[in-house]
Amino acid sequence: MLGAMARTSPALGEIIRRQRELAELSMRQFAELAGISNPYLSQIERGLRAPSQQVLDGIAKALELTSDALYEQAGIRPPGAEPEDNAVLDAINADPRLSVRQRKALAEIYESFVASSPPGRRNSH
């Protein structure tokens, strides 16, 4: 899972930065609340470092969220969650041309189409 987290950490870092800014906390204030150093927080927010589960838990607590909520907002499957074997969702999440918001919207649209399709139905164009 660490490889997947490292690959998608820019999205997670972006979510953490936005949440920190919404809470109107400086990077220094937030780092202190989360129990990490200011430079480390900066690296996480810029997607240069993927936080460990313990660090992410501290960040989530400082934001008054759960770490699962942060993963969900970033479009990342939480550690231990059942993997979904879905090439379409994997492709959406892997496309660097899409913003976090676009990935989430596309995934939601796709999942709603799949959910409303009859089971076992195959598209023949």
What digits encode the pLDDT tens for the residues 32-85?
999 999 999 999 999 888 888 899 999 999 999 888 888 888 777 676 665 556
For the chain, how many structural domains are there in total?
Answer: 2
CB hemisphere CA count around 92 (13 angstroms): 19
CB 68 within 8 A of CB 76: no
Together in a domain, 11 and 55:
yes
Residue 59 and residue 1 in contact, taking contact as beta carbons nearer than 8 Å: no
Claim: this prediction has a pTM higher than 0.85: no
45 part of a folded domain: yes
Q: Does residue 111 sit within a domain?
A: yes
Q: Which domain holds residue 112?
A: 87-116
Please name the residues in contact with 7: beta carbons below 8 A apart, sequence gap of 6 or more: 94
Same domain assignment for residues 67 and 95: no
**CB neighbourhood size of 93 (10 A):** 22
